[in-house]
Amino acid sequence: MKKGNVIVGQSGGPTSVINSSLAGVFKAAKDNGVDKIYGMRNGIQGLLENKYVDLKECLKDGLDIELLKRTPSSYLGSCRFKLPEISENEQLFKDIFAILEKLDVKYFFYIGGNDSMDTTKKLSEYAKSINSDIRFMGVPKTIDNDLAVTDHTPGYGSAAKYIGSSIKEIIRDGLVYNYPSITVVEIMGRNAGWLTAAASLAKSDDCEGVDMICLPEVPFDVDKFLAKIEANKNRSQVVAISEGIKTKDGKYVCEASRENVATDSFGHKSLSGTSQYLAELIKEKTGCKTRSVEFSSLQRCASHIASRTDVEEAFIAGSKAVEAAINGETGKVVIFERISTEPYQMITKISDVDKIANVEKKVPLEWIVNDGTDVSDALTDYIKPLIQGEMTQIMVNGLPKHIVLK
Amino acid sequence: MKKGNVIVGQSGGPTSVINSSLAGVFKAAKDNGVDKIYGMRNGIQGLLENKYVDLKECLKDGLDIELLKRTPSSYLGSCRFKLPEISENEQLFKDIFAILEKLDVKYFFYIGGNDSMDTTKKLSEYAKSINSDIRFMGVPKTIDNDLAVTDHTPGYGSAAKYIGSSIKEIIRDGLVYNYPSITVVEIMGRNAGWLTAAASLAKSDDCEGVDMICLPEVPFDVDKFLAKIEANKNRSQVVAISEGIKTKDGKYVCEASRENVATDSFGHKSLSGTSQYLAELIKEKTGCKTRSVEFSSLQRCASHIASRTDVEEAFIAGSKAVEAAINGETGKVVIFERISTEPYQMITKISDVDKIANVEKKVPLEWIVNDGTDVSDALTDYIKPLIQGEMTQIMVNGLPKHIVLK
């Protein structure tokens, strides 16, 4: 490989396995004899402030790499920073490249979602325009699974495993009394229902499964929803809804609860989420006891129940990005292609980063069934291999051990 | 032991290990040669409707018992049913005893919290009054850890382990960006702060720990709380609050957000929780990005990260109750006595059930420090042994396997 150093950054929302991709980049770069492997602190934004670390100083041995694979969120810190168009602010690009040159960086890796792929794209285009030989590679991550081209995205499998496990537990909990109670579980995914669809995993010979699954891809009909609940109101029910469900007129359901925002006794406004809103609505309609559960950030950081398949694929994605860059690729991203579902066979490929940047992949409508209240077996079958296997946790004092950048 | 059958029931809110106590009762009864081991469905309320199962028909082998120890919530179903005073409705007691006699039950075990101990107490008193030789034993459970006399309560350790692990993960997630964000985590425990105190477990050499811990035992001062947040508003913070915190005038903080309850565009009222309310308040005060996380029912049913110590102690409690009943005890409950914390040594004893029934054990005020915003090391040291060890999960298709009564 050509001489020169590596720099790697993490960007966008955290996942349980974004650090496994970092471990993959680090390990491959080290194994390829790279001298310095830098980590940007807080992504490109930190880099612009000259904030970076020497990763060989931070990750000393194999145990550190194993801990990194088990640590949720972004070890290097993250940012939400969208690069402007080159024509809008060329100086910014000049600044970035000056820093990269100062560090003798020849390989640049950026682990993230849509926006991060946009960053990778712009940097590689700018490099081309100034005849720089620095190579830029994207490594995909997002719990939302909404990246185009790739079969799925690292981070999704672990979130889906958390959702499947927690829903099973919530169903056991919710069905315990001899009177009906309705539990509404709110799951992330503003525009794409992949995560909410993972609620379907719960259904098995030891679990009744959820009663409804509502994704943001199809309009949410409040009346039909309530009528379905009402029809079964003599038994306990658990329903899974996406935070992003919208009514026919394009309004988020949670917005409905916010039009006349409450003012409390301290004089402050109070907002409420979709599940809370629907739980109240159901209570009024049916008289049943209701509960709302929001998985909130737990679903993207519960590395203690990460999918081993996901952790390993995230690692592979990082290491394959290094391999590709060494082989001369730039402006590309590692993607996954499914060879078969059963047995599960998955290979990586390299794709143009602009096929991923700024594109959003939603759940195909043919996988949403039952008048928009369930998902097809084909969708559940698609998810299943991604949640297989567990990482043996490294427990210290009864809690999972992490590695933290000080 | 004297001839006669066993019946066992579960009552009150679910925990991760209430089934392990059931397994303990079942195994001990079976090992002692009991002919029929009945399980009440939905506790005493189900029994009154003649709903029970033959547990030997349900739990066929050792694997079923292992699955039962790993299944959250109440395998037999639960109820919230408080027995009246005998003088108020003696017929009810006659009905119960008629059913027990029909089933030739001589040993009655009830796994539950305060109210369940009250049930055990009344039934044993009634037995005495009619010279019945049926023996009644309580097996303690509650995630709240608020039972008197016993060092701690089965169910608490697993909830504490879930809280500690999840708080660690939420802290990693919450500190990821290069701008400050404030996360407010709401934890169960209406009157006792034991569960919220478990947030202190997160602090270790790989975790910054939470910034504040607010328990319901001391008045919550909204202004001081906001001032503390404000003082550190240049960095991200995670605070843990009990759902039961009250202001000086005795009002729940969540009530403050409900005085002028919102009416939404569907014409329905919307309520919000304590963490959501405080997150809004902080946002207004500091301008920081805020988030609220409610552990909701997850903290009492996340058996996938149950404490092995807790699961084993719950099992022992069940089996010790059987042993005591065989030895002639009635109107008693199994309790735990701590011999030492390090190394952890815990023994069981038998106590009068009326010492536990209807009494609530709160966190001692000397364990609440820092002007009511933190807990002492002594409290953290008290909790630590209770969260040690994990149960190897029995995973099928990537999710924890449970056993379910059909």
- What is the Cβ-side half-sphere exposure of residue A123, based on CA atoms within 13 angstroms? 27
Amino acid, single-letter form, for residue B275: S
B269 CB within 8 Å of a chain A CB: yes
Structure token pair of residue B135: 């023996």
Please provide the average confidence, as pLDDT, over all residues in chain B: 94
Predicted pLDDT of residue B257? 64
pLDDT of residue A254: 79
Calpha distance B269→A261 (Å, rounded): 10
Q: B257 — contact with chain A (CB < 8 Å)? A: yes
- Which residues on B lie below 8 Å from A72 (Cβ)? 169, 172-173
Residue B403 has its nearest CB partner, among A169, A206, A280, at A206
| HSE of A92, CA atoms in CB hemisphere, 13 A | 16
Nearest to A264 among B277, B302, B396 (CB): B277
Q: Which residue of B has its CA nearest to A310?
A: B398
Buried/exposed code over A18-32 (b: 16+ C-beta within 10 A; e: otherwise): bbbbbbbbbbbbbee
Residue B233 φ then ψ, to 5°? -75, 0
Confidence check: pLDDT of A136 > 90: yes
Minimal Cα distance from A203: which residue of B?
Answer: B399
Question: A172-201 b/e with 16+ CB inside 10 Å = b?
Answer: bbbbbbbebbbbbbbbbbeebbbbbbbbbb
Question: How far is residue B73's CA from residue B18's CA, in Å, rounded to a whole number?
Answer: 7
Residue tagged active-site, from A118, A144, A211, A374: A144
CB B154 within 8 A of CB B306: no
pLDDT at B271 over 60: no
- CA-CA distance, A137 to B168, in Å (whole number)? 31
Give dist(CA A134, CA A6) in Å, integer.
Answer: 10
A206 vs B401: CB contact, 8 Å cut-off? yes
Interface membership of A392 toward B (CB under 8 Å) = no
Nearest CA-CA distance, residue A261 and chain B, Å: 6
pLDDT on residue A143: 96
Q: How far apart are CA A100 and CA A85, in angstroms?
A: 19
Chain B nearest-CA residue for A45: B178
Phi, psi of B252 (to 5 degrees): -60, 140
| Cα B309 to Cα B157: distance, rounded to the nearest angstrom | 8
The mean pLDDT of chain A is 94
Q: From chain B, pick out residues whose CB is under 8 angstroms from the CB of A169.
A: 72-73, 298, 301-304, 400
Residues within 8 A of A (CB atoms), B 297-336 only: 297-298, 300-305, 307
- The answer to whether B299 touches B243, Cβ cutoff 8 Å, is no
CA distance linking residue B5 with residue B107, whole number of Å: 6
**Which residue's entry shows tokens 């077996």?**
A377
How many other β-carbons are positioned within 10 Å of the β-carbon of residue B93? 20
- pLDDT for res A257: 64
What is the share, in percent, of chain A residues with pLDDT greater than 70?
96
Cβ count within 10 A of residue B203:
17
Q: How far apart are CA B25 and CA B19, in angstroms?
A: 10
The whole-number average pLDDT for the span A296-320 is 97
Residue B1 has pLDDT above 70, yes or no: no
CA distance A282 to A207: 23
Of A72, A264, A269, the CB nearest to B172: A72
Q: Which of A161, A297, A384 faces B293 most closely, judged by CB atoms?
A: A297
Phi/psi for B4 (5° steps) reads: 130, 160
ipTM exceeds 0.90: yes
Sequence letter at residue B78: S
B124: contact with A, CB 8 A cutoff: no
Cβ within 8 Å of residue B269, ≥6 positions away: A280, A284, B261, B262, B263
Residues of B annotated as catalytic (active site), given as ranges:
144
pLDDT digits (tens, 9 = 90+) for B225-253: 999 999 999 999 999 999 999 999 988 88
- Which residues lie below 8 Å from residue B2, measured CB to CB, with a gap of 6+? B106, B133
Nearest-10 crossing angle of helices B274-286, B222-231? 50
* Rounded CA Rg of chain B: 23
| B263 C-beta neighbours (distance < 10 Å), count | 15
Q: Using CB atoms, which residue from B262, B268, B273 is nearest to A261?
A: B262
Q: How many CB pairs under 8 A join A and B?
A: 254
pLDDT at B258: 56
Contact B176 A77 (CB under 8 A): yes
CB-based contact, B69 to chain A, within 8 Å: no
Distant-in-sequence, close-in-space partners of B242: CB < 8 Å, separation ≥ 6:
B186, B187, B188, B189, B190, B193, B195, B196, B214, B215, B216
CB contact, 8 Å: A405 with chain B?
Answer: no
* pLDDT at position B267 over 70: no
**Residue-wise pLDDT tens digits, B311-338:** 999 999 999 999 999 999 999 999 999 9
Q: What pLDDT does A1 receive?
A: 64
Question: What is the average pLDDT across A11-30?
Answer: 97
Using the Cβ of A341 and the Cβ atoms of chain B, whether some distance falls under 8 Å is answered with: no
Mean pLDDT of B210-217: 98
SS3 A133: coil
B386: distance to nearest CA of chain A, Å? 9
Check if the beta carbon of residue A196 is closer than 8 Å to that of residue A213.
yes
pLDDT digits (tens, 9 = 90+) for B23-67: 999 999 999 999 999 999 999 999 999 999 999 999 999 999 999
Q: CA-to-CA distance for B272 and B267, rounded, in angstroms?
A: 16
Other Cβ atoms within 10 Å of B237 Cβ, number: 24
Query: How many secondary structure helices (H) and strands (E) does chain B include?
Result: 14, 17
Please say if the pLDDT value at position A261 is more than 50: no
pLDDT of residue A260: 45
DSSP assignment of B87-117 equals: TT-HHHHHHHHHHHHHTTEEEEEEEESHHHH
Whether B166 and A298 lie within 8 Å, measured CB to CB: yes
Task: Calculate how close chain A gets to B328, using CA atoms only, in Å.
Answer: 32
Classify residue A48 by burial, with Cβ atoms within 10 Å: 0-12, 13-18, 19+.
middle
In B, minimum Cα distance to A293 occurs at B296
Of B78, B256, B265, the CB nearest to A259: B265
Question: Residue B204: its chain A contacts at CB < 8 A?
Answer: 396-397, 399
Q: How far is A72 from chain B (nearest CA, A)?
A: 6
Question: In the prediction, which pLDDT does A265 show?
Answer: 43
Tens of pLDDT, residue by residue over B348-396, are: 999 999 998 888 999 999 999 999 999 999 999 999 999 999 999 999 9
- The answer to whether residue B265 scores a pLDDT higher than 60 is no
Residue A271 has pLDDT above 70, yes or no: no
Bridge-partner residues for B352, per DSSP? B332
Question: What mean pLDDT comes out for the span A110-121?
Answer: 94
pLDDT, one tens digit per residue, over B286-301 is 999 999 999 999 999 9
pLDDT of B356: 87
Tell which residue, B101, B44, B180, B393, has the closest CA to residue A308: B393
Confidence at residue B261, expressed as pLDDT on a 0 to 100 scale: 42
**Residue B270: HSE in the Cβ half-sphere, 13 Å Cα cutoff:** 29
> What pLDDT, in 10s, does the model give residues A49-70?
999 999 999 999 999 999 999 9
Query: β-pairing, B289-294 with B181-187?
Result: parallel
Determine the length of chain B.
406
3 state SS of A369? strand
Mean pLDDT value across residues A80-92: 94
DSSP conformational letter for A395: E
A 10 A CB-CB count for A37 gives 26
